[in-house]
Amino acid sequence: MQTILRFRQGDTRDAIKAVLKKDGNPVNLTGKTVLFYMSNGVEGYAEVIDAAAGVVMYPVEESMTTEEGVFYAEFKVVHEDGRKSTYPNNGFIPIRVIKGVK
């Protein structure tokens, strides 16, 4: 079972970090562009933290945590030839935004 990432409405301090893997091995992201997509319409460029190890992150921004609910996210790698690969390739990254007190 995949861990659900949890944020309160309005949170912006954290980041969504992931190791992109194919067949259990990290994907080498050297020279590639990585995009982040979330089911609430948020999208943008992810930051590659360690290209050889497949480590990426996307900072949590206020537009991600405005609406309460369960959402899904994914990273899309754009290869040098323009082809794309989506990660995780066996589902989505579940994100739950819960209501804050204030």
Region for residue 21 given its phi and psi (left: phi exceeds 0; alpha: psi -120 to 50; beta: otherwise) = beta
Instruction: Judge contact between 102 and 11, C-beta under 8 A.
Output: no
Q: Could you give all domains of the chain from N- to C-terminal order, each with its CATH number?
A: 5-98 (2.60.40.3350)
Average pLDDT score, the chain: 94
Assess whether the previous peptide bond of 88 is cis (omega < 30° from 0).
yes
Structure tokens at 41: 């319409």
Task: Give me the mean pLDDT over the 76-86 stretch.
Answer: 96
Task: Give me the mean pLDDT over the 56-85 stretch.
Answer: 95
pLDDT of 54 reads 97
Cβ burial of 3 (10 Å; 0-12, 13-18, 19+) is exposed
| Residue 77 clears pLDDT 90, i.e. is over it | yes
